[in-house]
């Protein structure tokens, strides 16, 4: 049967199991929107293409499926760019589809033309410009395959308008074969044996988990390994939820705003078992001072992540879950490390997480209450800044795919549209976006999308009147010179109401919990404007470029 390019695309999306597309129409993608109109795939019209990209990203993070967004050529496509870069940095499976001017006009500086495959080359796992409709089905298949396998990432398909209109025989390629792309899933057995041997000999081992735990669904294996070795466990921002924060072996997040006991523990350790993490600069601090006495076992599906930043003693390329399973099976009994556990416990007692009450609502308290009200079982999305770190530090995540945050790129404006996508992916869950008053204004237009589509996201704005994280750096490292960090906001309550959502303002500590409860009970999108302490800082903190046991603030 002959189908148009647009129908081939949609037919392929359906067969890939796509449930929802986030997007925005425009001139060069019109033929495809004409088919979307009555094709039967759920479509969410965002109010900005960036919102569509982040929503697809948020959807992918909570479901583990490939998120899909679509936009027109030129500005539509460039508006996706931040969202694509964000997904790339955090290894999120996404397929972005863009309209393009017709093939005969490409390179002509035509109206709304942008070389989007050129622009996105360094921020996609791969991208395609479809020049012939006969290649389209294969390309869509390959795009989903590449996006979702190995180390996942975004793939862009640029689709000229004449290719959308042209017809071809539709053939669904059952198999995908790309000669240069064969991700390694099974770890090398010899390396796994060496790792098991190192673990058995370790005196002060620590498990260091990254986003790869979530991606590969290795939470249970991580838990099993940790309990078998009986060793402390720490994780990165991307690893949050991969290990229950309430577990006795949990040390919480490490790094720049990690717990002091996690940082001191990893610095003192003699064996780091890194799983699906990449020794990012926010984690290691000054590299040459990082964990000087530790040997390193590094498990990752991406060979280029291994030995990139730190010297690795046992590299294991493979899928985290499969490698952990094999490692658990190879490990006889755990090492004798009671002394080490006692030492770590003492660190926990010596440096507990804490904050001091001040005159206004404490932002940390809002997160603690959010945790209490939702019993650690909501999906928490964040923007980027102080509120993000507080949401990472003070909520006790117990399940994977419940903390949705822009880790690598650090994109303000990510949280709200990502929460939209998350709510669509997991409609039965309570979905909160923890935001700052700065970040929320970066994609606030998506309020209209939420209201129009009954996407009942709850937004908790920790409103301190500042771009707080930058202000904190200015306070600590730039002599209190608050250069363009005080920021004004609209009346968030009336703003929410004007969109048809519900707005709540909270100015007193006693009203925090009732407001959260009311927000959850309200059958609508809700903005809560928490007026919090203006100049509270995120502690503990390791200044950029310092060793991670060089911690300032937050110590009792």
Per CB under 8 A, residues contacting another protein are 117-118, 121-122, 125-126, 129, 146, 178-181, 302-304, 307-308
Report the relative pairing of strands 94-100 and 154-160 from DSSP bridges: parallel
CB of 131 to another protein, least distance (A): 8
Q: Across the strands, what pairs with 316?
A: 299
Under DSSP, the state recorded for 226 is H
Q: Which residues of 420-452 are buried (b: 16+ CB within 10 A; e: fewer)?
A: bbbbbbbeebbbbbbbbbbbbbbbbbbbbbbbe
Q: Please, which residue, 108 or 307, has the CB nearer to another protein? A: 307
Select 186 or 346, whichever has its Cβ closest to another protein: 186
DSSP per-residue string spanning 412-432: TT-HHHHHHHHHHHSTTS-EE
CB of 166 to another protein, least distance (A): 19
CA triple 275-226-223, angle to 5 deg? 80
Angle at 33 between CA 28 and CA 35, to 5 degrees: 125
CB atoms under 10 Å from CB of 227, counted, come to 15
CB of 461 to another protein, least distance (A): 36
Token pair listed for 157:
């398909």
Least Å distance between CB 267 and another protein?
23
For another protein, the closer CB: 95 or 462? 95
d(CA 57, CA 68): 8
Burial of 175 (0-12, 13-18, 19+ CB in 10 A): exposed
Q: How far is the CB of 50 from another protein (least distance, A)?
A: 23
- Closest CB to another protein among 146 and 275? 146
Question: For another protein, which is the closer residue by CB, 129 or 412?
Answer: 129
Q: How far is the CB of 179 from another protein (least distance, A)?
A: 5
Rounded to a whole number of angstroms, the minimum distance from the CB of residue 310 to another protein is 11
Strands (E), 454-499: 458-463
Closer residue to another protein in complex, CB, 146/283: 146
- Closest contact distance (angstroms) between CB of 318 and another protein is 15
Q: How far is the CB of 465 from another protein (least distance, A)?
A: 38
Q: Report the residue number, 139 or 378, with the smaller CB distance to another protein.
A: 139
Q: Omega before 117 cis (within 30°)?
A: no
Question: Looking at beta carbons only, is 308 or 505 nearer to another protein?
Answer: 308
| Local structure of 307: helix, strand or coil | coil
CB atoms closer than 10 angstroms to residue 518: 15
Quick one: CA dihedral 241, 247, 250, 253, positive or negative?
A: positive
Q: Closer CB to another protein, residue 201 or residue 307?
A: 307
For residue 148, the tally of other CB atoms under 10 A from its CB is 19
């Amino acid at each position: 049967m002959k189908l148009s390019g647009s129908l081939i695309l949609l037919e392929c999306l359906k067969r890939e199991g796509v449930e929802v597309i986030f997007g925005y129409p425009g001139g060069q993608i019109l033929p495809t929107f004409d088919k979307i109109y009555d094709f039967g795939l759920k479509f969410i019209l965002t109010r900005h293409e960036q919102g569509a990209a982040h929503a697809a990203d948020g959807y992918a993070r909570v479901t583990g499926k490939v998120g899909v967004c679509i936009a027109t050529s030129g500005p539509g496509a460039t508006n996706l760019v931040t969202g694509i870069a964000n997904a790339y940095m955090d290894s999120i499976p996404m397929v972005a589809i863009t309209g393009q001017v017709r093939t005969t006009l490409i390179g002509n500086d035509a109206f709304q033309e942008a070389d989007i495959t050129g622009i996105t080359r360094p921020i996609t796992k791969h991208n395609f410009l479809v020049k012939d409709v006969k290649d389209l089905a294969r390309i869509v298949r390959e795009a989903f395959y590449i996006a979702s396998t190995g180390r996942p990432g975004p793939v862009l398909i640029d689709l000229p308008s004449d290719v959308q209109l042209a017809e071809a025989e539709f053939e669904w390629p059952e198999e995908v074969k790309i000669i240069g792309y064969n991700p390694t899933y099974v770890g090398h057995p010899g390396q796994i044996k060496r790792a098991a041997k190192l673990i058995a000999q370790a005196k002060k081992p620590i498990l260091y988990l990254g986003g790869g735990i979530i991606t590969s669904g290795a939470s249970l294996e991580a838990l099993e390994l940790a309990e078998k070795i009986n060793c402390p466990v720490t994780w990165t921002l991307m690893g949050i939820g991969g290990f229950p924060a309430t577990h006795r072996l949990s040390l919480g997040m490490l790094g720049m705003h990690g717990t002091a006991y996690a940082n001191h523990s990893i610095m003192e350790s003699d064996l780091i078992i890194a799983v699906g993490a990449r020794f990012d600069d926010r984690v290691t601090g000054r590299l040459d001072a990082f964990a000087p006495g530790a040997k390193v076992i590094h498990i990752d599906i991406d060979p280029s992540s291994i030995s990139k930043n730190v010297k690795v003693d046992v590299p294991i390329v493979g899928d985290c879950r499969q490698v952990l399973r094999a490692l658990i099976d190879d490990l006889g009994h755990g090492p004798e490390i009671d002394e080490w556990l006692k030492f770590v416990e003492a660190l926990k007692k010596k440096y507990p997480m804490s904050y001091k009450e001040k005159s206004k609502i404490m932002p940390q308290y809002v997160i603690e209450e959010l945790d209490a009200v939702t019993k650690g079982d909501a999906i928490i999305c964040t923007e980027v800044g102080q509120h993000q770190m507080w949401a990472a530090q003070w909520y006790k995540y117990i399940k994977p795919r419940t903390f949705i945050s822009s880790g690598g790129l650090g994109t303000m404006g990510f949280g709200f549209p990502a929460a939209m996508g998350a709510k669509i992916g997991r409609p039965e869950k309570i979905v909160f976006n923890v935001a700052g008053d700065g970040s929320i204004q970066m994609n606030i237009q998506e309020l209209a999308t939420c209201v129009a589509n009954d996407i009942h996201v709850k937004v908790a704005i920790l409103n301190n009147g500042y771009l707080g994280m930058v202000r904190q750096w200015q306070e600590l490292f730039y002599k209190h010179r608050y250069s363009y960090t005080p920021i004004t906001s609209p009346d968030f309550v009336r703003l929410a109401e004007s969109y048809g959502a519900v707005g709540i303002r909270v100015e007193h500590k006693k009203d925090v919990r009732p407001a959260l409860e009311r927000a959850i009970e309200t059958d609508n999108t809700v903005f809560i404007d928490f007026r919090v302490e203006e100049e509270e800082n995120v502690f503990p903190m390791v200044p950029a470029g310092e060793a991670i046991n060089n911690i300032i603030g937050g110590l009792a």
